[in-house]
C-alpha cells in the first residue's frame, strides 16, 4: 500500500482516538457524572476538542491529501482508498475554511446561550434568550460566508448535518409533504379519539428497562459491543465500531416512552455497529448523515416497532409482564394506543402523522431568520401563529412553544431539524425496497424474526458507513431519488385502517 496513504490513515486513527475519548467523556457527562463536575468536564472537553481540531487541520494532512489525489482518481469511486481520500478531503476542506477563532467564539457563545436557556425555559421568558439568538443568526451568516458560492445562506449549515442537501430541495419536499399532512391530520383528529388511558398508570421501571433491552437485542442490537443506560434525553454514541452505546428514558406512568425510545436508539446503534470494521478510525466510520441516521432509527421504531405484526408477537409477552395493567386490554386496543394521533405541543411526544409538521415549522423559521425575513424578536409570536395554522391549536406559553427544543439554544440556527423528517421519508423508501427484495419480511416480524431485514439493511446501508452521501445511498438502494410517495402511501394505509376512514 502507498506510504502516504498509510501515513494518512495512521494520523486519522490517532485523531479518531481523541474523538473517542471526547465521546466517552460526553457519554459519562450525560449518564453518570456528578452534577458538580460540569465545570471540570467542560474544560477537559474543550482541551481535547481543540487538540483534535488542530491535529486535523494541520497542513501535513492537506499535503498528504494533495499527494494522494492520483490514488483517488485511479481507484474506483466506491473503493476503500478512493472513499477514504474523498471523504477526508471533504471534511478537511470544510474544517480549514472556518477560522478557528470563529469556532471558538461560537462555542463560547453557545455555552452562555445554553446556560441562559436552562433558566429561560422554566421561567417561560423568551426575552432572556432572544438577544443570544440574534447573535446566533449573525454567527450563522458569518459561518455561511466561509463557504462562498452557496445557493441559499442556510446551505452550508444544512450541509454539515446532511451533506449534499440544499434548502431549495428540502423546501420543495417539505411543501409537498405539508400539502398532504395538514388535511390528513384534520381528517384523523375529527374521528373519535383512541382510548389510551390504560397506559396512564404505574408500570415498574426495572421491568420496563428489561423489556426494552430484550426488544433491542431481538431486533439485532449487539450487547457484546454495546450497552444501554439511562439518560434524561435518550441518545446513541459510538466510541468505536466495536463500542456503540444506547440510552433510554423511563416514564414510570407510561411505558411507551421507554419502549419506543429504546427501539429508536437501537436502530441508531445497529447502524453504527454494522459499519464495515475495516473503516475503524477513518472518516468513513459512522453513519453518513443525520437524515440517513434517523431513517434507521425510525424504520425500527415506527415501521417495525409500531406495526401490528410486531405486537402480535410481543404483546402477549408484555401483557404477561404487566398483567395487572394490561390483562383487559386487547392487542387491537394496544396497537391503536401506540399509534394514537393527537395534536400536541411537544415535538418529541408527537405521533408519526403530526411529527413532521413540528419539524417543518422549525425548518421554515430557520430559513426565514437566516434570510433576514424574520427578526428573532418576533420569533415567539411567529411560532404561535404558524403552529396554530398548521396544527390547529393555540400555544399557551413559550416554554411549550419556541423554548421547548434544545437545538437552537446549544447550537446553530440552520440545519438543526430537517434530518428528522428526511429520515421519516427515507425510512419508508428504504423499507419499500427491502420488501421488494424480501416480501417475507412482514411474516417474519410477526414471528419475532428480524434477521432478513437486519442483514439487508447491513448490506445495503450500514456497512457503507459514510462512504456514500445520503442522496447517493437513496438512489443506489431504491433505484430512485428521494420521494415522499412511499412515506405517504405507508401513512395513508396504516392510519386509514386504524381510524376506519379513507385517507
Q: Provide the minimum distance between the beta carbon of 236 and Zn ion in the complex, in angstroms, as a whole number.
A: 7
Q: Does 248 bind Zn ion (CB under 5 A)?
A: no
Q: Please, which residue, 68 or 357, has the CB nearer to Zn ion?
A: 357
**305, 310, 316, 318: CA torsion to nearest 10:** -10
The active-site residue, picked from 72, 228, 265, 294, is 265
Q: Please, which residue, 41 or 256, has the CB nearer to Zn ion?
A: 256
What is the largest distance, in Å, between two alpha-carbon atoms of the chain? Answer: 70
Q: Which stretch binds Zn ion (CB under 5 A): 32-40, 67-75, 279-287, 294-302?
A: 294-302
Q: Please, which residue, 130 or 261, has the CB nearer to Zn ion?
A: 261
Q: Output the nine-digit C-alpha cell for 152.
A: 441559499
**Contact with Zn ion (CB under 5 A): which of 297, 339, 418, 471?**
297
Q: How many CB atoms lie within 10 A of CB 327?
A: 9
Q: Provide the minimum distance between the beta carbon of 268 and Zn ion in the complex, in angstroms, as a whole number.
A: 6
Q: Which stretch binds Zn ion (CB under 5 A): 60-68, 295-303, 344-352, 489-497?
A: 295-303
Ranked by CB distance to Zn ion, the top (closest) residue is: 297
Q: Output the nine-digit C-alpha cell for 293.
A: 441516521
**372, 97, 88, 6: CA torsion to nearest 10:** -170
Q: How many CB atoms lie within 10 A of CB 334?
A: 20
Please name the residue that has the C-alpha cell 460566508: 145
Q: Which stretch binds Zn ion (CB under 5 A): 154-162, 297-305, 343-351, 391-399?
A: 297-305
Please name the residue that has the C-alpha cell 437524515: 291
Q: Provide the minimum distance between the beta carbon of 429 and Zn ion in the complex, in angstroms, as a whole number.
A: 18
Q: Provide the minimum distance between the beta carbon of 294 and Zn ion in the complex, in angstroms, as a whole number.
A: 5
Q: Please, which residue, 297 or 354, has the CB nearer to Zn ion?
A: 297
Examine the residue annotation and report whether 142 is marked as an active-site residue of this protein: no
User: Sign (positive/negative) of CA torsion 194, 198, 200, 205?
Assistant: negative
Residues 62-121 interacting with Zn ion (rule: CB under 5 A): none
Q: Provide the minimum distance between the beta carbon of 292 and Zn ion in the complex, in angstroms, as a whole number.
A: 11
Q: Is 351 left (phi over 0), alpha (psi -120 to 50) or beta?
A: beta
Q: How many CB atoms lie within 10 A of CB 54?
A: 11
Contacts of residue 278, defined as CB under 8 A and 6 or more positions apart, other chains included, come to 80
Q: Which stretch binds Zn ion (CB under 5 A): 105-113, 290-298, 352-360, 464-472?
A: 290-298
Q: Provide the minimum distance between the beta carbon of 190 and Zn ion in the complex, in angstroms, as a whole number.
A: 31
Q: Which of 274, 228, 234 is nearest to 251 (CA)?
A: 234
The rounded distance, in Å, linking the Cα atoms of 403 and 349 is 15
Q: Does 208 bind Zn ion (CB under 5 A)?
A: no
Binding site for Zn ion (CB under 5 A): 297
Kindly list the catalytic residues: 265
Amino acid at each position: 500500500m502507498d506510504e502516504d496513504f498509510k501515513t494518512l490513515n495512521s494520523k486519522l486513527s490517532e485523531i479518531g482516538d481523541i474523538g473517542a475519548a471526547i465521546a466517552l467523556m460526553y457519554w459519562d457527562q450525560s449518564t453518570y457524572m456528578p452534577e458538580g463536575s460540569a465545570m471540570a468536564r467542560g474544560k477537559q472537553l474543550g482541551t481535547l476538542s481543540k487538540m483534535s481540531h488542530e491535529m486535523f487541520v494541520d497542513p501535513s494532512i492537506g499535503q498528504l491529501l494533495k499527494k494522494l489525489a492520483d490514488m483517488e482518481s485511479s481507484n474506483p469511486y466506491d473503493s476503500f482508498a478512493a472513499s477514504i481520500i474523498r471523504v477526508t478531503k471533504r471534511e478537511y476542506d470544510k474544517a480549514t475554511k472556518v477560522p478557528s477563532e470563529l469556532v471558538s467564539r461560537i462555542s463560547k457563545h453557545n455555552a452562555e446561550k445554553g446556560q441562559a436557556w436552562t433558566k429561560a425555559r422554566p421561567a417561560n421568558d423568551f426575552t432572556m434568550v432572544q438577544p443570544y439568538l440574534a447573535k446566533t443568526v449573525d454567527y450563522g451568516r458569518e459561518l455561511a460566508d466561509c463557504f462562498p458560492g452557496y445557493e441559499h445562506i442556510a446551505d452550508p449549515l444544512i450541509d454539515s448535518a446532511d451533506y449534499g442537501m440544499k434548502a431549495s430541495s428540502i423546501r420543495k419536499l417539505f411543501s409537498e409533504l405539508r400539502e398532504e399532512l395538514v388535511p390528513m391530520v384534520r381528517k384523523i383528529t375529527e374521528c373519535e379519539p383512541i382510548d389510551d388511558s390504560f397506559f396512564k398508570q404505574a408500570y415498574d421501571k426495572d421491568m420496563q428497562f428489561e423489556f426494552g433491552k430484550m426488544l433491542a437485542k431481538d431486533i439485532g442490537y449487539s450487547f457484546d459491543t454495546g450497552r444501554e443506560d439511562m439518560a434524561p434525553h435518550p441518545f446513541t454514541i459510538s466510541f468505536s465500531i466495536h463500542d456503540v452505546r444506547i440510552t433510554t428514558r423511563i416514564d414510570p406512568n407510561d411505558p411507551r416512552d421507554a419502549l419506543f425510545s429504546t427501539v429508536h436508539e437501537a436502530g441508531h446503534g445497529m447502524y453504527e455497529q454494522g459499519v464495515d470494521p475495516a473503516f475503524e478510525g477513518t472518516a468513513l466510520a459512522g453513519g453518513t448523515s443525520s437524515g440517513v441516521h434517523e431513517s434507521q432509527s425510525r424504520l425500527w421504531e415506527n415501521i417495525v416497532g409500531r406495526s401490528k405484526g410486531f405486537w402480535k408477537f410481543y404483546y402477549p409477552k408484555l401483557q404477561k409482564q404487566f398483567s395487572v395493567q394490561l390483562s383487559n386490554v386487547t392487542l387491537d386496543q394496544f396497537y391503536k394506543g401506540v399509534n394514537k394521533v393527537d395534536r400536541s405541543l411537544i415535538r418529541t411526544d408527537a405521533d408519526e402523522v403530526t411529527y413532521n409538521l413540528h419539524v417543518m415549522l422549525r425548518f421554515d423559521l430557520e430559513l426565514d431568520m437566516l434570510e433576514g425575513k424574520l427578526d428573532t424578536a418576533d420569533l415567539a409570536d411567529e411560532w404561535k401563529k404558524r403552529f396554530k395554522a398548521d396544527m390547529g391549536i393555540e400555544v399557551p406559553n413559550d416554554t411549550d412553544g419556541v423554548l421547548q427544543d434544545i437545538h437552537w439554544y446549544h447550537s446553530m440556527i440552520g440545519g438543526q431539524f430537517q434530518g428528522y423528517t428526511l429520515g421519516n421519508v427515507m425510512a419508508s423508501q428504504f423499507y419499500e425496497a427491502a420488501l421488494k427484495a424480501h416480501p417475507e419480511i412482514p411474516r417474519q416480524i410477526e414471528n419475532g424474526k428480524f434477521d432478513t431485514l437486519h442483514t439487508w439493511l447491513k448490506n445495503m446501508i450500514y456497512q457503507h458507513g459514510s462512504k456514500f452521501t445520503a442522496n447517493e445511498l437513496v438512489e443506489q438502494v431504491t433505484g430512485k431519488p428521494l420521494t415522499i410517495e412511499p412515506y405517504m402511501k405507508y401513512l395513508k394505509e396504516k392510519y386509514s385502517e386504524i381510524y376506519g376512514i379513507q385517507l
